[in-house]
Each structure stands twice: as C-alpha cells, then as structure tokens.
Amino acid sequence: MRPDSQSPAVLNSHVALKDVAKAYGKGNKAISALEGVTLDISRGEFLSILGPSGCGKSTLLMMIAGLLVPSHGMIEVAQRPVTRPLTDVGIAFQQDLLFDWRTVLGNVMLQADMRDLDRNAARAKAQILLERVGLKGFENRRPWELSGGMRQRVAICRALLHDSSILLLDEPFGALDALTRDHMNLHLQNLWMLERPTAIMVTHSISEAVFLSDRVIVFSRRPGRVVYELPIELPRPRTVEMRDASEFVRFQHQLRQAIEVPQ
C-alpha cells in the first residue's frame, strides 16, 4: 500500500483523471480533442466543466463512462482503472433520448428493464422521482405530448432511477430556454440532493455551473485543457434569490473572465 493512500483526500477521491488526452483520426490528420487533463473528483462532489464548443468536454464525460477510450493517460473510478463501459453510472445527454414507444413511466423504467432490477421497487422509486420534478399525473403520457423541459426531466429521472454513485450530465439543458433552464436547475439540485451521487456536468451556462456546483473547472479551446478552477462555496440548498447575491455574481464574473482570457 502506498503511503499517501492513507490521506483523507485520496481516500475520498472517486473519479481520478491522470494526464488524459484524446485524439480523433490517425497520423498527420489526427485532431487532438483534449490534452493533459488531470483531475480528482471527490465522492459526492458536484463538478461542472465549462468551456467553448468543441473543446472535448463531452468526450471527457464519455471517457469517464468508459464509452470512449482515451488516447493517452488513465481514468480511475473508485481506485480502479476504467477499461470498459461503467454500469454504476447514470447519464443524461444533451438530447433527452426518450423512446417514443414508451410512456413517461416506461421511459424511466427502461433503466430497471435493462438492469433486471426489482420492478415493484423501481416503479415506486420512479414515481417518487417523477413527483419530485412535478410530473405526477404524467406517468402514462407519451414523450411527444411533453414540452422540452418536461422531456429532459424524464431523462434525468431515468438517469437517477438505479441509485448509481456517479451521475454524468452532458449539457442536459442546452436546448432549453433560459427561464426553463433556471427552473430545471432547481429540479436537478433537488434530485441530486436525494442521494448525492458524484456528479459531473458539462455546460455552456456560467450561471448554471455556479448554481449547481461545488467546483467549476474551465476548459480552453481545442485541444481542451484545464485552465481555471473555482470552488463554489455557497450553502445548500441553493435558492433562486441567491443568483442575485454579490458572491454569486462575483463567481460568475471570475468564470467569465477565465473563459474570455485563456492562459
């Protein structure tokens, strides 16, 4: 056992990235999506990744999930290297990816069907989750009867059904308008605080990142690398009013500057 493995920080580490890089293509035509990313994410932490389009943020998320393979470096989850798709994970994508042939409840239950979970327990959990995000009474509706915001809430409930220890959010509210988005942030915080999984979210919205996160990191343009890191020390649960607080505004300001002036 390594001596430093006794220190609390390391024990607490849940997702660790060591000098991770990803390039698409081969030889001279290879395009480097991200380079030299080293990160340590603690158990139960909510981390957001901000950065310009195409800086490899989503790629990073998919590599943590074991769905894409890094070209270089190593990713560890719970001190084990990721070598195949993680299953102790819930993912919400930019598109809601709901199945048109399933009802709202059926879409959340997909998670249980794929994992052979106990159906009754899963159904009860699904109903609790849907109720939490204001979708009680919509269980038997079909996805096309719902608004974009409602659809994305269903997708997040689906990602949380199985109590996984990691929640990956790939710009889940990117397609929504600003007002709906603020509302969705509250819903997401609400759901996340139920079980407090380790959450990693990719976003373009500075205010969303500050509102939800314990820590925000900023990526540079392609090839993406970490250029700035900001702990968000605000009490939870965070409220709508806090968005106007001077601290909140200051965090936003710091992040905006970090994005505009990459090192």
Partner 1 sequence: MSDLISRVVYPSLVFFVLILLWQFGAERSLFPAYILPAPSTIALRVWSTAPIMFGHAIVTTLEIMCGFVLAIFLGVFLAWMLAYVRLFNQAFYPWLVFIQVLPKVALGPLLVVWIGVGFLPKALVSFLLAFFPVMIDTLAGLKSVQRDYVFLLRSMGASRLKRFLYFELPHALPYIFASLKVAITLAVVGAIVGEFIGADRGLGYVLIVATGTMDTVLIFVALVWISILSLLLYALVCLFDRFFVSWHAAARHDQIRDAA
Residues that bind partner 1 in the complex, under the rule CB under 8 A = 62, 65, 67, 85-87, 89-91, 93, 95, 97, 99-101, 110-111, 113-115, 142-145
Looking at residue 171, what DSSP letter applies?
S
Q: In angstroms, what CA-CA distances link 253 with 33, 52, 234, 239?
A: 27, 16, 15, 19
Peptide bond preceding 262 in cis form (omega within 30 of 0): no
Nearer to partner 1, 110 or 234 (CB): 110
How far apart CA 23 and CA 33 sit, in angstroms, is: 5
Nearer to partner 1, 67 or 226 (CB): 67
Identify the CA nearest to 172 among candidates 123, 212, 140. 212
204-219 as b/e: b if 16+ CB within 10 A:
ebbbbbbbbbbbbbbb
Mention every residue, 6+ apart, whose C-beta is less than 8 A from residue 251.
210, 216, 230, 232, 234
CB 174 within 8 A of CB 204: yes
Angle, CA of 167, 185 and 243, to the nearest 5°: 130
Interhelix angle 119-132/104-115, rounded to 10 degrees, is 140
Peptide bond preceding 223 in cis form (omega within 30 of 0): yes
CB 33 within 8 A of CB 223: yes
CB of 170 to partner 1, least distance (A): 8
